[in-house]
Structure 1
Amino acid sequence: SITVVLPYYGLARQDRKDQPRAPIGAKLVANLLTAAGATRIMTMDLHADQIQGFFEIPVDHLYASTIFIDYIQKLNLDNLTIASPDMGGAKRAKNYASHLGAEVVIAYKERKKANVIEEMFLIGDVVGKNVILIDDMIDTAGTLCKAADILIEKGAKSVRAMATHAVLSGKAYENIENSKISEVIVTDTIPVKAELSSKIKVLSCAELFADVMKMVHEHKSISDKFII
């Protein structure tokens, strides 16, 4: 048997046809892995849960919430509110909020083109709240920084951001450093140059993957590794 461990699933954002002749790259990667001989896949925080359905082999889809929830609880923030930087992440934000007993707000964005936001609106009240933005990945950080600006403008006490995959392309480090976000917490599914921004904190997912690999190898249940 061959278990492929992919902390970050490449091309995950190409998971559907949002315009004519757009490629579904996430399915191509699934086909390539299967053709190469993989008999099981282990990954974390897919951009969309339905990507699991692209495979004809078992997929262990882990969640960074297992790591992030502990960190959030240690912050011991009062008036905690969980925010999603877009409509697509509303379910993820709701799951975190339910577990933490917090409220939820959602930022609605309209794009001109990829990675360029035209307008953003806030759904919910954040006055006097300590807000944590939850997302699956940070690319250019444009969405997160724009959302943080709006949250502060609407009266938020503080804004932090949490994302599993730190792609951090283009001016991402510069955008984060100059933003109103007080802290950006990410995992090490992708190597991060944390020294380029004093606001970035990296939490390791190595122990989680090691535990799950051991459990799978010994044919044990991994259910207790899922918080959300």
Structure 2
Amino acid sequence: MIRLVSGSSNRELAKEISAYVNVPLTPVHMSKFKDGEIYVRLLDTVRGSDVFIIQSTCNNVNEHLMEMLILIDAAKRASANSTNVIVPYYGYARQDRISHPREALTARLVANMIEVAGASRLVSVDFHSGQTQGFFNIPTDNMWGIPVLAAKLSGVQLVDPVVVSPDHGGVSRARFMAKLLDVPLAIVDKRRTAHNVSEVMNLIGDVAGRDAIMVDDMIDTG
């Protein structure tokens, strides 16, 4: 039997998934203690069931991540047959390599936490980089959203569109979008001067008078 469990990060998405697969959401009680600790209790049995926990780790990243870990632990301790986690946005993925001395590898750390909590499988959408998938010892599916976005954009009236990659690291993703839409590609040459601060050095390609479709791995600063 399949059980769907929703965290608090995106209940609307969970409801849409529930309606699409015709599986009701398992009721969950969530509350907080005075110091901010999260309390979670599954209100229906999940014994022997394949549980799918739907929880993105978007803002607030820390709170939603912890909530997800508690949900995983609750399902595992309730004797679920498997505990599968659907995480559309995988938080702490930026630090997927050591760029400077004494940095943490948070993408790997979060993977370890999810495994220790008891997850059997993880499904995410567009990891910050493909190598994040290799940080897991459990089956991990990294789904691409580009084909879905391209299908939607193909039905939009745009003026001489061009796909723009805001940096060199995202060129392959942007090139894939440009290929699907059969439009040109432009690339922004920029230098990151600090966290959330970038300086544009050059623009490779023609965007004048065109509708630009920006394709990036993560957009959280506007």
TM-score range, shorter chain: 0.5 to 0.7
Q: C-alpha separation between the residues in 1 aligned to 2:135 and 2:83?
A: 18
How far did residue 66 of structure 1 move?
3.5
Secondary structure at 1:41 match in 2 = strand
Give the direction of change, closer, same or farther, for the CA distance of 1:9–1:85 in structure 2 (3 Å limit).
same
Give the direction of change, closer, same or farther, for the CA distance of 1:139–1:120 in structure 2 (3 Å limit).
farther
1:194 corresponds in structure 2 to: none
How far did residue 70 of structure 1 move?
2.0
- 1:81-120 equivalences under 5 Å are 81-120=162-201
2:84 corresponds in structure 1 to: 3
How far did residue 138 of structure 1 move?
1.4
Q: C-alpha separation between the residues in 1 aligned to 2:132 and 2:151?
A: 27
How far did residue 111 of structure 1 move?
2.0
Stretches of structure 1 that go unaligned for 5 or more consecutive residues are 142-228
Q: C-alpha separation between the residues in 1 aligned to 2:187 and 2:87?
A: 29
2:69 corresponds in structure 1 to: none
Q: Could you tell me which amino acid in structure 2 is paired with residue 114 of structure 1? A: H
Q: C-alpha separation between the residues in 1 aligned to 2:142 and 2:106?
A: 18
- 1:1-228 equivalences under 5 Å are 1-141=82-222
Q: C-alpha separation between the residues in 1 aligned to 2:160 and 2:88?
A: 33
Q: C-alpha separation between the residues in 2 aligned to 1:28 and 1:134?
A: 27
Identity among equivalent pairs (%): 44
Q: C-alpha separation between the residues in 2 aligned to 1:22 and 1:56?
A: 23
Secondary structure at 2:217 match in 1 = strand
1:169 corresponds in structure 2 to: none
How far did residue 82 of structure 1 move?
0.4
- The one-character-per-residue Cα deviations of 1:84-120 (angstroms, maximum 9, x if unpaired) are 1111111100000111111100001112211112333
- The one-character-per-residue Cα deviations of 1:154-210 (angstroms, maximum 9, x if unpaired) are xxxxxxxxxxxxxxxxxxxxxxxxxxxxxxxxxxxxxxxxxxxxxxxxxxxxxxxxx
Give the stretch that moved more between structures: 97-106 or 64-73: 64-73
Stretches of structure 2 that go unaligned for 5 or more consecutive residues are 1-81
The normalised TM-score by structure 1 is 0.59
The normalised TM-score by structure 2 is 0.60
Q: C-alpha separation between the residues in 1 aligned to 2:200 and 2:166?
A: 12
Give the stretch that moved more between structures: 117-126 or 107-116: 117-126
Which structure 1 residue ranges, 4+ long, deviate > 4 Å from structure 2?
none
Task: Report the count of equivalent residues.
Answer: 141
Q: Could you tell me which amino acid in structure 2 is paired with residue 119 of structure 1? A: V
2:79 corresponds in structure 1 to: none
RMSD: 1.3
